[in-house]
């Protein structure tokens, strides 16, 4: 794949026909077709690309990384998100790669004492859509497959500045790309947020750290100490 040349993203995706099944807004298209420049191929950028593309807009998405994907472990897909994914036609795909957790158990770090237990299996009854746990890479792929037919993806394309008036984005290569609208989906250290706010807005360190890991159930079942966790949660 050429590095900073545009690629038709649907050639890169194994789209499995997902977006062909999906039709948003009762098939209505925007009366004015805009060229939307999206910065960032994370979940936010992909969701925006899908919805804007479904509305008939032309989407170009810029991503710093040389390859698409998502790192990390699991992510919680709450009912507000699963409701959207169902509406977007990927409810079955989601169900196939995600799990519906039964409950959450909270324990005191020092002693292991159980301090809270919340049943989660009734989420669908309460909120109208299920609650899932999923691997980040699987969720990213679902969103990528949804967005792929609607966008031109430019990998290795770091946006170094934006001109909201033009509007345009400037890439690290020096190339300036003009559009009608710029969407900043460039993550927690967003450069575009800086342009919008006029100042940096760094996250405040809390001193806390979070570790997240996924352990295959068969490992739990083969370990006498962890075996109960496979059935009742840690």
Ligand X SMILES: Cc1cc2nc3c(=O)[nH]c(=O)nc-3n(C[C@H](O)[C@H](O)[C@H](O)COP(=O)(O)OP(=O)(O)OC[C@H]3O[C@@H](n4cnc5c(N)ncnc54)[C@H](O)[C@@H]3O)c2cc1C
The encoded tokens of residue 69 equal 């994907």
* Per-residue contact string for residues 95-124; x = within reach of ligand X by CB under 6 A: ------------------------------
Q: Alpha-carbon distance 4 to 174, whole Å?
A: 12
Q: List the one residue from 167, 187, 195, 220 that touches ligand X (CB under 6 A).
A: 187
Q: List the one residue from 19, 36, 37, 40 that touches ligand X (CB under 6 A).
A: 40
Under a CB-based contact definition with an 8 Å cutoff, are residues 39 and 45 in contact?
yes
Helix (H, G, I), strand (E, B) or coil at 136: helix
Instruction: State in angstroms the smallest separation of the CB of 12 from ligand X.
Output: 15
Residue 6 makes contact with ligand X by CB under 6 A: no
Q: Alpha-carbon distance 171 to 177, whole Å?
A: 8
Residue 229 makes contact with ligand X by CB under 6 A: no
Peptide bond between residue 167 and the one before it cis (omega within 30 degrees of 0): yes
Residue 41 makes contact with ligand X by CB under 6 A: yes
Residue 210 makes contact with ligand X by CB under 6 A: yes
Instruction: State in angstroms the smallest separation of the CB of 78 from ligand X.
Output: 6
Provide CB contacts within 8 A for 60, sequence distance 6+. Answer: 6, 35, 36, 37, 38, 151, 152, 154, 177, 179
Stretch that binds ligand X, among 11-19, 37-45, 106-114, 115-123 (CB under 6 A): 37-45
* Per-residue contact string for residues 122-141; x = within reach of ligand X by CB under 6 A: --------------------
Stretch that binds ligand X, among 7-15, 21-29, 115-123, 183-191 (CB under 6 A): 183-191
Instruction: State in angstroms the smallest separation of the CB of 103 from ligand X.
Output: 16
Place of tokens 């927690």: 188
> What's the number of CA atoms in the CB half-sphere (13 Å) around residue 43?
14
Spell out the long-range contacts of 122-126 with Cβ–Cβ below 8 A and sequence spacing 24 or more: 123/79, 124/79, 126/79
Stretch that binds ligand X, among 38-46, 52-60, 88-96, 218-226 (CB under 6 A): 38-46
Tell me which residues touch ligand X (CB under 6 A): 39-45, 62-65, 75-76, 158-159, 185-188, 191, 210, 212
């Amino acid at each position: 794949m050429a590095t900073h040349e545009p690629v038709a993203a649907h050639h890169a995706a194994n789209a499995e026909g997902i977006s062909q099944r999906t039709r948003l807004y009762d098939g209505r298209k925007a009366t004015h077709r805009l060229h939307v420049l999206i910065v960032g191929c994370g979940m936010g950028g992909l969701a925006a690309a899908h919805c804007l593309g479904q509305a008939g807009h032309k989407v170009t998405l810029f991503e710093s990384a040389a390859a698409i994907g998502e790192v990390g472990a699991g992510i919680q897909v709450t009912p507000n998100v699963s409701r959207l994914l169902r509406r977007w036609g990927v409810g079955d795909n989601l169900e196939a790669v995600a799990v519906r957790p039964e409950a959450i158990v909270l324990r005191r770090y020092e002693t292991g004492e159980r301090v809270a237990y919340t049943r989660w299996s009734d989420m669908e009854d309460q909120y109208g859509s299920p609650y899932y746990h999923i691997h980040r890479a699987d969720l990213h792929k679902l969103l990528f497959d949804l967005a792929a037919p609607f966008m031109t993806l430019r990998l290795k394309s770091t946006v170094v500045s934006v001109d909201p008036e033009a509007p345009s984005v400037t890439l690290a290569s020096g190339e300036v790309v003009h559009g009608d609208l710029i969407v900043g989906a460039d993550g927690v250290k967003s450069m575009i947020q800086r342009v919008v706010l006029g100042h940096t807005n760094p996250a405040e360190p809390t001193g806390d750290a979070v570790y997240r890991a996924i352990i295959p159930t068969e490992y739990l079942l083969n370990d006498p100490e962890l075996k109960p966790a496979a059935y009742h949660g840690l």
